[in-house]
């Protein structure tokens, strides 16, 4: 039912994502950053579980979540009932976000805010803005005006929000556009967009992820006004030590049932929703239905392996590594090493290769895949470097986000609309699983060692990484416009040579 070739490809993608970071960390730990051998072994085991978990999760998500989104989107369009489209979109947005692995990792790492409270808040934000996205598609509302209005509101609220919530709010917008949410939302949007048949239908089918990233930011900001936080709630990034290999193995085995329970509870809403739709409306044939069921099982197994590997071994070493590099003798390496890891992380993200090819095709070869890859690598590396500067200096996240988003929104009014939609959709592409699972704990460890505030100084890293494609892709779009104009001018010049006489009157 599930072919070997896709599974093999997913394992290769997962290896390409995790292996570069693992090698960089191994070299550092074996040369100049001392760590306990048991922690290093736990990291290596966690890396293997991460590879297996990401591969199974991505395959399962492709087989199940994308198909569920496509089928439900198509069925909603046939009903042509606005109230049904909007209510189902909201419920699906909440259900799918609850199961997003990047959000689970981020919520577990946020101190002073209850994990469940944060997950529910972010999920409701996504649900509300998925509903808004459907209205935009159905009524052909220009994306750039919505982006300008909502980001204007965000930065207005940012002046009143508790600083401890500000960076977490922007990070929440970055992690929700992950491997679970994006395929589902995109498939749902394409299905709903098929109602329209005008020339802008394809362009308006983009931009859903962009708007759904705004919802969590506003939701967490709103939470800061009504939720006081719990001083006893601490982050889940706890460094554990193991006396021997047997105790290490027991540590992983004891964690598996805990995360299995969490994953089953997270997936339960979307599974229940799909089964209800299957009985009431979809009526899928036996084989497509069984494929989706198998995909959901693979998603569950992959997510359990992913979260266990991350929380038991992978994130812990990231935290310790940041802590060790914050030492006065090694502090100068924080930013360069973060930039190096950011370069490899973005190059290893499978979704980035899809984005690069998409831009090359849209620009008819004017923007090459290689140029896109290089520009994104530079941008994400710079974002990681800026994050480490914030860790060491405590500069407010607004000093970076305000000019960055202002530039991105200004570019939206001079760049082709499709480039703008893809740019804002791709913010979550750059802030993939490794950013939340390794780079964020890395920043947290360094912040604690330097005596900084984790909530204001470490968080915000995901937001900086998510912001860079907004500018990069649109700059590439502006370059495409310039090149297109030059090509047209050259074509006109070639059509009329210097010796040609152009008659401006009739005989």
What is the predicted pLDDT for the residue at 269? 87
What is the predicted pLDDT for the residue at 150? 95
Predicted structure pTM score: 0.84
Task: Give the span between the Cα atoms of 45 and 311, in whole angstroms.
Answer: 12
Residue 33 DSSP class: S
Tokens of 110: 């946020």
Scan for tokens 């980035």, then name that residue. Answer: 352
Closest CA to 101 of 319, 345, 256, 311: 311
- Alpha helices, DSSP H only, in 394-436? 398-411, 417-425, 427-430, 433-434
What is the predicted pLDDT for the residue at 481? 82
Tokens of 17: 């994502």
Scan for tokens 């190096």, then name that residue. Answer: 340
What is the predicted pLDDT for the residue at 232? 47
The answer for residues whose C-beta is within 8 angstroms of residue 339's C-beta and 6 or more apart is 381, 382, 384, 385
What is the predicted pLDDT for the residue at 438? 87
What is the residue extent of each domain of the chain?
328-487
What is the predicted pLDDT for the residue at 9? 84
Radius of gyration of the chain (CA): 24
What is the predicted pLDDT for the residue at 194? 65
DSSP string covering 326-374: TSTTTGGGHHHHHHHHHHHHHHH-HHHHHHHHHHHHHTTTSS-HHHHHH
Torsion of CA 130, 380, 457, 160, to 10 degrees: -40
Torsion of CA 405, 454, 113, 124, to 10 degrees: 20
Scan for tokens 């042509």, then name that residue. Answer: 80
Closest CA to 114 of 277, 263, 227: 227
Task: Give the span between the Cα atoms of 445 and 449, in whole angstroms.
Answer: 6
CB 433 within 8 A of CB 102: yes
What is the predicted pLDDT for the residue at 104? 84
Task: Give the span between the Cα atoms of 326 and 23, in whole angstroms.
Answer: 21
Tokens of 86: 């909007």
* Cα within 13 Å of Cα(401), Cβ side: 29
The answer for residues whose C-beta is within 8 angstroms of residue 356's C-beta and 6 or more apart is 369, 372, 373, 376
CB 235 within 8 A of CB 108: yes
Closest CA to 89 of 265, 238, 243, 208: 208
What is the predicted pLDDT for the residue at 294? 92
The answer for residues whose C-beta is within 8 angstroms of residue 41's C-beta and 6 or more apart is 242, 245, 248
First to last CA, the chain: 74
Tokens of 91: 């419920």
DSSP string covering 236-275: S------SSHHHHHHHHHHHHHHHHHHHHHHHHHHHHHHH
Tokens of 406: 């202002």
Burial class of residue 36 (count of CB atoms within 10 Å of its CB; 0-12, 13-18, 19+)? middle
CB 394 within 8 A of CB 175: no
Extract the residue ranges of the chain whose pLDDT is less than 70.
1-5, 179, 191, 193-206, 229-241, 348-355, 357-359, 362-363, 366, 428-429, 495-507
What is the predicted pLDDT for the residue at 298? 92
DSSP string covering 47-108: HHHHHHHHHHHHHHHHHTHHHHHHHHHHHHHHHT-HHHHHHHHHHHHHHHHHT-HHHHHHHH
DSSP string covering 454-483: IIIIITTHHHHHHHHHHHHHHHHHHHHHHH
Tokens of 507: 């005989």
């Amino acid at each position: 039912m599930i072919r070997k070739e896709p599974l093999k490809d997913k394992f290769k993608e997962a290896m390409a994502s995790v292996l570069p970071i693992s090698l960089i960390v191994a070299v550092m730990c074996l040369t100049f950053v001392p760590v306990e051998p048991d922690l290093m072994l736990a990291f290596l085991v966690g890396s293997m579980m991460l590879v297996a978990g990401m591969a199974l999760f991505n395959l399962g998500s492709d087989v199940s979540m994308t198909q569920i989104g496509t089928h439900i989107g198509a069925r909603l369009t046939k009903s042509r009932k606005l109230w049904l489209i909007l209510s189902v979109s909201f419920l699906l947005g909440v259900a799918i976000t609850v199961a997003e692995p990047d959000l689970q990792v981020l919520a577990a790492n946020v101190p002073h805010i209850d994990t469940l409270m944060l997950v529910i808040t972010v999920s409701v934000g996504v649900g509300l803005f998925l509903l808004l996205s459907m209205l935009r598609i159905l009524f052909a509302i220009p994306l750039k005006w919505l982006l300008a209005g909502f980001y204007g509101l965000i930065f207005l609220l940012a002046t009143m929000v508790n600083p401890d919530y500000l960076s977490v709010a922007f990070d929440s917008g970055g992690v929700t556009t992950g491997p679970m949410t994006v395929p589902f939302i995109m498939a749902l949007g394409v299905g709903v967009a098929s109602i329209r048949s005008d020339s802008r239908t394809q362009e308006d089918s983009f931009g859903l992820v962009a708007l759904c990233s705004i919802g969590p930011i506003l939701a967490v900001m709103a939470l800061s006004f009504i939720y006081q936080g719990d001083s006893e709630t601490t982050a889940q990034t706890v460094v554990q030590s193991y006396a021997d290999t047997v105790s290490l193995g027991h540590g992983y085995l004891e964690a598996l049932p805990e995360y299995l329970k969490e994953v089953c509870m997270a997936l339960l809403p979307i599974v229940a929703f799909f089964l209800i739709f299957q009985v009431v409306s979809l009526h899928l044939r036996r084989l497509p239905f069984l494929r989706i069921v198998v995909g959901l099982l693979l998603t569950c197994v992959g997510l359990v392996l992913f979260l266990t590997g991350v929380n038991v071994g992978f994130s812990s070493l990231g935290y310790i590594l940041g802590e060790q590099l914050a030492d006065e003798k090694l502090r100068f390496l924080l930013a360069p090493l973060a930039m190096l890891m950011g370069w490899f992380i973005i190059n290893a993200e499978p979704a980035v290769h899809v984005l690069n090819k998409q831009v090359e095709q849209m620009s008819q070869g004017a923007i090459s895949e290689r140029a896109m890859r290089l520009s994104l690598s530079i941008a994400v590396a710079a974002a990681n470097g800026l994050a480490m500067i914030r860790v060491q200096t405590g500069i407010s996240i607004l000093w970076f986000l305000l000019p960055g988003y202002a530039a991105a929104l200004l570019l939206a009014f001079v760049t082709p609309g499709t480039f703008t939609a893809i740019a804002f959709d791709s913010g979550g592409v750059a802030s993939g699983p490794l950013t939340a699972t390794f780079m964020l704990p890395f920043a947290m460890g360094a912040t604690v060692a330097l005596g900084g505030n984790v909530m204001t100084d470490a968080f915000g890293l995901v937001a900086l990484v998510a912001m860079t494609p907004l500018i990069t892709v649109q700059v590439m779009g502006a370059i495409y416009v310039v090149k297109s104009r030059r090509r047209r001018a050259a074509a006109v010049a070639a059509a009329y040579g210097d010796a040609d006489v152009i008659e401006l009157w009739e005989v």
